[in-house]
């Protein structure tokens, strides 16, 4: 449809519409940069902004003490080195007026205001299928007709309503921190209430206390706050930036939170108390949120134990700062992990409660009953007030988007309906069914869990680059597919299992707004990984997007961009960057040396009761073994364990982290067997050693400190093969009694023609060619159908109950499934874990692939059931206080 026809159509409906290529809603950090980039890319654009000027957050939030909580040298635009050179921040954390001045400076420098319609709120938006344009209604002036509609409306721009009865009856003054009057508020000599103790309150309370006759703080949930130690920008960070600005900015873009700090690899339990305290004190003195959230120890954000140590150290600080113990106790956070809710940076916050004119009211003990004409009544008391300040926060992430209602996409669908069960997006940028619609820092992107300046620039660059590419290719619409969007939802959920955010009720999850659907809205996988995913979407031909153009032109490369578990993806990316030679090219000795070296760098696993080495008589001479014992009193059921390594690599110690972890989770004893390897000892040596060792261990269980009676067998990869074969041999050779078998990614057959061998031939560490090599070294082609190496070809009746684990991205996946199914068909009790998004090593990379934890929990439960124990380990049997969800991926880098 021609532009003239579009104009006619638009004006017919609602008066003459302003015609532009792109409408941008919002004139904060995001909207301003968008307008600049769009203009440079040759698009006509209009900005629509409810406020009277630019600034967004920094226009509205003028309460006393408002500042940024990311150091200002990081919380700045980086797209133009000349802009960076032209502006100097005066403080480590700039005040709201200074940030607002900066955004005004940016608007002037690029002459942006001329394209912005201020005091103009967007009220509705409708996609017109025929013209392939959005029609946007405002509360002030002409509607807008545009090809693309971009909401740069902010994650924290829709203040929450008061939700407390009687506000209208109050005869005094009422203020919202998020809508603070421009000409200031005189609080001198007044009786002031602040409701809320989030960041806005924590920044404003000390300053309000200095002015007011009396300040009463109404606290529902205490928050962690850290001293900002504000002042001039710190010299160490400044010199880092100034010595190599480009690298500093590049590192920020690749970092987890948008500020360049290194990944920590040391986990809390590897440090002594003194070392942990030293790190903590250094972080406390730094006065930097990103520092304390990322630099203490690698497990602080992913592990409840690692996190609790930080919590306790901060609690000590609160007790030291607040004189009245009852007030200190009330101010001490107790219901969420540190960092799971946004912590606050403060200046004199806790000390303010030592002032005689400040009272803390703990709403958990005495909830607010009502706001009356003269003040606030709680269950126990009445507070006479002149001023009430609501520091009660925002309908975050989705509030401003949903406030434009309806946003009607394809087939008349409203965004509110599509999001009825929570926001669904692809990349946090787009929504299926809503063509040419974009959100900057929308739900599903790192946004509020990052330095927003970095995330905003990344989104703006990605969107404008895509619009330019779309135009240049002659397409007129772009829209994500349902497949891609559903995949992103799964990836979001997988990521959320990695961190502790899911354990707190916060505005990140929508818990602060009554009736809002709950779910973690920001992307928790990190800024750098997220950026690489967005880039991958482009490099894979706009994966997950449908593009259309005139005369039926269309392109759709459907699919999910991330099918791996997030930590598996990081590990594989890391391995790819190491550019290692193929293991099979190293020769057996070289490969063994490589594996030994590789294993030295990995986390060793948490302490267990005892580790004892010994030798046992194998099929043909002594074999080494290593016993891993729980810390609890025995005797424990015995699991005979066979390590992985393609019958060629590894030894009784090489799967130590896995053995330790399983001992902790099962409360059982693992005896790992050092069976002999190929090529020195070819088939059937490993199988016969495995069987002989199992027999000996069963007969000597009591001597080893284990429970006499049936043993269990377990193994990973080639070790899974030996475990499976051992069960068949034990059945056929009159024992020993085996109570159950755990087969983790086992080799079960010599055929290479199953789909998983093709689908996962390369790229997932265990490759098809590596498997060829293992087979060649171990077993001649004539022997390969022997059930002692291809148990799938043996008799599978009357075997012990089995738990079979297979991983989606593993060449061995299908033969593992086939073996499980064959046993089940033959009447063997079989449970399967088909691990989505995992690779061959997911479960043995303990403390590296954190998402492997739930699988190991299931494996442990199965072993316990096989041994006749209740599936859940009891406190008394456990030597771990909590079920540890593992360690940070960073450990992989070691």
Which residues contact ligand FAD (rule: CB under 6 A)? 25-31, 48-51, 56-57, 59, 61, 66, 68-70, 75, 121-122, 152-157, 200, 400, 403-404, 440-441, 451-452, 456
- Cα–Cα distance measured from residue 535 to residue 462, given in angstroms and rounded to the nearest whole number: 8
Residue 806 tokens, joined: 């297979």
Which residue's Cβ lies closest to ligand NAP? 198
Q: Which is nearer to ligand NAP, 221 or 672 (CB)?
A: 221
Q: Whole-number minimum distance, CB 58 to ligand NAP, in Å?
A: 10
Residues of this chain that interact with ligand NAP (CB under 6 A) are: 67-69, 156, 163-164, 177, 195-201, 203, 220-221, 342, 345, 363, 391-394, 448, 507, 512
Place of tokens 């199965």: 862
Which one of ligand FAD, ligand NAP, none is in contact with 26 (Cβ closer than 5 to 8 A by kind)? ligand FAD
Q: Which letter does DSSP use for residue 673 in this model?
A: E
Q: Whole-number minimum distance, CB 754 to ligand FAD, in Å?
A: 49
Q: Which is nearer to ligand FAD, 35 or 835 (CB)?
A: 35
Q: Which is nearer to ligand FAD, 62 or 676 (CB)?
A: 62
The residues with which 611 forms a beta bridge, in sequence order, are 628
Q: Whole-number minimum distance, CB 286 to ligand FAD, in Å?
A: 16
Q: Which is nearer to ligand NAP, 59 or 773 (CB)?
A: 59
Which one of ligand FAD, ligand NAP, none is in contact with 691 (Cβ closer than 5 to 8 A by kind)? none
Is there a contact between 854 and 890 (Cβ–Cβ < 8 Å)? no
Which one of ligand NAP, ligand FAD, none is in contact with 25 (Cβ closer than 5 to 8 A by kind)? ligand FAD
- Cα–Cα distance measured from residue 357 to residue 269, given in angstroms and rounded to the nearest whole number: 44
Q: Whole-number minimum distance, CB 228 to ligand NAP, in Å?
A: 8
Which one of ligand NAP, ligand FAD, none is in contact with 391 (Cβ closer than 5 to 8 A by kind)? ligand NAP
Residue 467 tokens, joined: 């619009």
Q: Whole-number minimum distance, CB 353 to ligand FAD, in Å?
A: 22
Q: Which is nearer to ligand NAP, 164 or 537 (CB)?
A: 164
Q: Whole-number minimum distance, CB 284 to ligand NAP, in Å?
A: 17
Which one of ligand NAP, ligand FAD, none is in contact with 221 (Cβ closer than 5 to 8 A by kind)? ligand NAP
DSSP secondary structure letters along 138-202 = ESSS--EEEEEEEE---SS-SBPP--STTGGG--SEEEEGGG--TT----TT-EEEEE--SHHHH
Q: Whole-number minimum distance, CB 500 to ligand NAP, in Å?
A: 16
Q: Whole-number minimum distance, CB 9 to ligand NAP, in Å?
A: 41
Q: Which is nearer to ligand NAP, 61 or 717 (CB)?
A: 61
Q: Which is nearer to ligand FAD, 29 or 475 (CB)?
A: 29
Q: Which is nearer to ligand NAP, 370 or 586 (CB)?
A: 370
Is there a contact between 255 and 527 (Cβ–Cβ < 8 Å)? yes
Residue 608 tokens, joined: 């267990």
- Cα–Cα distance measured from residue 209 to residue 65, given in angstroms and rounded to the nearest whole number: 12
Count of C-beta atoms within a 10 Å radius of residue 617: 12
Which one of ligand FAD, ligand NAP, none is in contact with 393 (Cβ closer than 5 to 8 A by kind)? ligand NAP
Cα three-residue angle 619-624-627, rounded to 5 degrees? 120
Place of tokens 């193994």: 715
Is there a contact between 636 and 831 (Cβ–Cβ < 8 Å)? no
The residues with which 640 forms a beta bridge, in sequence order, are 671, 713
Q: Which is nearer to ligand FAD, 159 or 609 (CB)?
A: 159
Is there a contact between 279 and 477 (Cβ–Cβ < 8 Å)? no
- In the three-class reduction of DSSP (H, G, I as helix; E, B as strand; rest coil), residue 846 is classed as coil
Q: Whole-number minimum distance, CB 315 to ligand NAP, in Å?
A: 17
Inter-CA distances, 295 with 38, 73, 226, 281, 286, Å: 38, 19, 15, 12, 11
Which one of ligand NAP, ligand FAD, none is in contact with 195 (Cβ closer than 5 to 8 A by kind)? ligand NAP
Q: Which is nearer to ligand NAP, 392 or 455 (CB)?
A: 392
Inter-CA distances, 32 with 3, 302, 340, Å: 27, 36, 30
Which one of ligand FAD, ligand NAP, none is in contact with 478 (Cβ closer than 5 to 8 A by kind)? none
Which one of ligand FAD, ligand NAP, none is in contact with 651 (Cβ closer than 5 to 8 A by kind)? none
Which one of ligand NAP, ligand FAD, none is in contact with 233 (Cβ closer than 5 to 8 A by kind)? none
Q: In what order do the strands lie in the sheet with 387-390?
A: 173-176, 387-390, 191-195, 214-219, 358-362
Q: Whole-number minimum distance, CB 370 to ligand NAP, in Å?
A: 12
Q: Which is nearer to ligand FAD, 200 or 476 (CB)?
A: 200
Q: Whole-number minimum distance, CB 69 to ligand NAP, in Å?
A: 3
DSSP secondary structure letters along 534-576 = HHHHHHTTSTTEEEE-GGG-EEE--S-S--S-HHHHHHHHHHH
């Amino acid at each position: 449809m021609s532009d003239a026809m579009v104009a006619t159509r638009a004006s017919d409906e609602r008066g003459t519409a302003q015609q532009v290529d792109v409408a941008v809603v919002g004139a904060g950090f995001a909207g301003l940069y968008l307008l600049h980039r769009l203009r440079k890319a040759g698009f006509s654009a209009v900005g629509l902004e409810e406020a009277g000027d630019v600034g967004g957050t920094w226009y509205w939030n003028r309460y006393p003490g408002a500042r940024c909580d990311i150091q200002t040298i990081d919380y700045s635009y980086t797209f133009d080195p000349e802009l960076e050179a032209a502006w100097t921040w005066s403080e480590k954390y700039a005040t709201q007026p200074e940030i607002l001045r900066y955004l005004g400076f940016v608007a002037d420098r690029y002459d942006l205001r001329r394209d912005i319609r201020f005091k103009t709120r967007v009220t509705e938006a409708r996609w017109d299928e025929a013209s392939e344009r959005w029609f946007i209604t405002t509360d002030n002036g002409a509607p807008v007709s545009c090809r693309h509609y971009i909401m740069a409306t902010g994650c924290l721009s829709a203040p929450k309503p008061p939700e407390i009865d009687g506000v209208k009856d109050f005869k005094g003054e009422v203020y919202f921190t998020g809508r603070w009057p421009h000409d200031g508020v005189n609080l001198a000599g007044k009786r002031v209430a602040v409701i809320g103790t989030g960041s806005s309150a924590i920044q404003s309370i000390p300053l309000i206390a200095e002015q007011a006759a009396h300040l009463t703080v109404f606290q529902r949930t205490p928050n962690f706050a850290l001293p900002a130690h504000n002042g001039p920008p710190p010299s160490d960070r400044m010199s880092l930036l100034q010595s190599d600005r480009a690298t500093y900015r590049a590192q920020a873009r690749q970092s987890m939170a948008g500020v360049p700090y290194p990944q920590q690899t040391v986990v809390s339990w590897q440090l002594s108390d003194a070392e942990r305290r030293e790190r903590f004190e250094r972080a406390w003195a730094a006065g930097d949120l990103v520092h304390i959230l990322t630099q203490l120890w690698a497990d602080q954000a992913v592990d409840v134990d690692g996190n609790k140590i930080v919590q306790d150290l901060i609690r000590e600080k609160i007790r030291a700062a607040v004189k009245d113990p009852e007030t200190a106790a009330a101010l001490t956070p107790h219901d969420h992990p540190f960092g799971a809710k946004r912590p606050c940076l403060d200046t004199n916050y806790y000390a303010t409660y030592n002032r005689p004119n400040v009272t803390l009211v703990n709403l958990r003990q005495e909830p607010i009953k009502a706001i009356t004409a003269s003040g606030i009544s709680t269950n126990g008391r009445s507070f006479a007030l002149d001023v009430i300040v609501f520091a009660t926060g925002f309908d975050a992430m989705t509030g401003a988007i949903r406030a434009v209602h309806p946003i009607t996409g394809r087939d008349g669908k409203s965004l509110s309906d599509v999001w009825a069960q929570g926001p669904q997006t692809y990349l946090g940028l787009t929504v299926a069914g809503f063509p040419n619609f974009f959100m900057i820092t929308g739900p599903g992107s790192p946004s509020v869990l990052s330095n927003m300046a970095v995330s905003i620039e990344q989104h703006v660059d990605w969107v404008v680059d895509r619009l330019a590419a779309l135009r240049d290719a002659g397409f007129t619409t772009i829209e994500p597919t349902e497949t891609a969007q559903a995949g992103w939802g799964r990836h979001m959920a997988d990521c959320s299992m990695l961190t502790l955010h899911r354990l707190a009720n916060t505005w990140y999850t929508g818990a602060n707004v009554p009736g809002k659907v709950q779910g973690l809205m920001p992307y928790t996988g990190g800024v750098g990984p997220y950026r690489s995913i967005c880039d991958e979407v482009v490099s894979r031909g706009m994966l997950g997007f449908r593009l259309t153009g005139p005369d039926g032109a269309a392109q759709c490369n459907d699919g999910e961009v991330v099918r791996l578990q997030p930590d598996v993806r990081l590990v594989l990316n890391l391995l790819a960057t190491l550019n290692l030679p193929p293991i099979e090219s190293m020769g057996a000795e070289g490969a063994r040396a490589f594996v030994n070296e590789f294993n030295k760098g990995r986390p060793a696993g948490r302490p267990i009761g005892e580790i004892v080495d010994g030798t046992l008589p194998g099929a043909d001479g002594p074999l080494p073994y290593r016993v891993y014992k729980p810390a609890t009193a025995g005797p424990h059921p015995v699991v005979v364990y066979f390590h992985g390594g393609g019958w060629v690599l590894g030894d009784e110690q090489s799967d130590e982290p896995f053995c330790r972890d399983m001992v902790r989770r099962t409360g059982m004893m693992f005896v790992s067997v050092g069976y002999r390897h190929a090529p020195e000892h070819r088939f059937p040596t490993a199988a016969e050693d495995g069987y002989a060792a199992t027999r000996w261990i069963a007969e000597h269980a009591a001597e080893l400190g284990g429970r006499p009676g049936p043993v269990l067998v377990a193994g990973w990869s080639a070790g899974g093969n030996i475990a499976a074969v051992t069960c068949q041999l034990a059945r056929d050779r009159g024992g020993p009694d085996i109570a159950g078998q755990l087969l983790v990614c086992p080799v079960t057959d010599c055929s290479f023609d199953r789909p998983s061998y093709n689908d996962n031939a390369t790229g997932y560490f265990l490759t098809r060619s590596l498997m060829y090599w293992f087979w060649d070294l171990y077993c001649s082609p004539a022997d390969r159908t022997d059930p002692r190496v291809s148990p799938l070809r043996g008799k599978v009746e009357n075997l012990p109950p089995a738990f079979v684990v297979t991983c989606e991205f593993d060449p061995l996946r299908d033969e593992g499934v086939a073996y499980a199914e064959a046993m089940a068909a033959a009447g063997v009790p079989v449970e399967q874990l088909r691990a989505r998004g995992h690779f061959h090593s997911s479960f043995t990379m303990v403390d590296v692939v954190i998402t492997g934890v739930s699988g190991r929990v299931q494996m442990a439960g199965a072993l316990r059931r096989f041994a006749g124990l209740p599936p859940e380990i009891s406190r008394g049997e456990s030597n771990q206080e909590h079920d540890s969800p593992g360690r940070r991926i960073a450990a992989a880098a070691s």
